[in-house]
């Protein structure tokens, strides 16, 4: 399978606690993509605008059950949760 999202220009990626969702983070967008064998390749679950002059250096989902809906995106010298 091949998924390509040129408009996102993602520089960081992270898989969530369940292993079913991927967070793609870039300078302009954050996108959450559901991954699975039977997915339609063009389906993005959520897409959020992100206005930053810096690329996302890293993205990480919380890997514990109580915090499974939290993620952190690092860029330049600050982290957004």
C-alpha 39/C-alpha 23 separation (Å) is 16
What would the pLDDT profile of 3-46 be if each residue is shown by its tens digit?
666 667 788 888 888 888 888 888 888 888 888 766 555 567 78
Whole-prediction pTM = 0.77
For residue 66, give its domain range: 10-80
What would the pLDDT profile of 33-44 be if each residue is shown by its tens digit?
888 766 555 567
Tell me whether residue 2 is in a domain: no
Tell me whether residue 4 is in a domain: no
Tell me whether residue 65 is in a domain: yes
Tell me whether residue 25 is in a domain: yes
β-strands 21-26, 10-15 pairing: antiparallel
What is the number of residues in the chain?
81
Place of tokens 């999202």: 5
C-alpha 19/C-alpha 6 separation (Å) is 23
Q: Contact, 29 vs 73, CB < 8 A?
A: no
């Amino acid at each position: 399978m091949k998924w390509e999202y040129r408009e996102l220009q993602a520089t960081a990626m992270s898989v969530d606690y369940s292993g079913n969702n991927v967070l793609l983070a870039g300078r302009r967008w954050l996108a959450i993509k559901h991954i699975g064998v039977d997915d339609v390749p063009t389906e993005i679950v959520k897409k959020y605008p992100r206005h930053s002059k810096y690329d996302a250096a890293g993205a990480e989902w919380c890997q514990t059950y109580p915090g499974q809906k939290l993620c952190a995106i690092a860029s330049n010298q600050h982290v957004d949760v």
